[in-house]
Amino acid sequence: MQNIEILEKLFGSGEKVKIMRLFLFNPNNAFDIADIEDRAKVTRNDAKREVALLEKIGLIKKRIFHKDDFKNVGHKIKTSGWILDDTFYYLTPLQNFLIHINPMRHQEIVEKLSRVGKLKLVIVAGLFIQQPESRIDMLIVGDNLRNNSLENVIKGIEAEIGKELRYSYFETTDFQYRLGMCDKLIRDILDYPHEKILDRLGIE
């Protein structure tokens, strides 16, 4: 059974898990229904239903805030949404449980990324290994990587995890050149805590 399936059974629905993680991973951010629908990749009806339940138990609370107006660049609009309630009685144990359990196993991540090209190397760091000081959360190396497909896959992973990912991707030849030149980003990834979840290049 996959991690996300276990969490769904524990909490009643996958939508509830993704929305809870969204608020827990972003405790200082407010979200309206449109934000939740987009970030958690759930339907509007599911978002409204789960938010009502989470507000009722006290995990989140109403908040009026300003957000970017995408129809009028440079301007902000006032909207009503929700923010994590830091007085929720079970907040700490819930954070420890949901934030420190990755809903996606490594093989699931590799399978999703395999749709975007011929993968050669996938490294996870940062939030995947509870190392927030890492420069990035994921490094992807492969051949014929399709940018639009990769963005869609990453958004899907972000929806499951509840937080935007810091990631970089390179074609194999570019990565090997940078590795040979001791590129600072590459060295910062390889010289600090990380996990190789796919390595067809034999990186030491």
**Model confidence pLDDT, tens digit, residues 41-82:** 999 999 999 999 999 999 999 999 888 766 677 678 889 999
Average pLDDT over residues 134-148: 94
CATH number for 95: 1.10.10.10
Q: Are residues 46 and 115 in the same domain?
A: no
Cα torsion 33, 83, 12, 108: sign:
positive
- How are the residues of the chain apportioned to helix, strand and coil, as percentages rounded to the nearest 5? 50, 20, 30
Q: Are residues 65 and 133 in the same domain?
A: no
- The boundaries of the domain holding residue 66 are 3-99
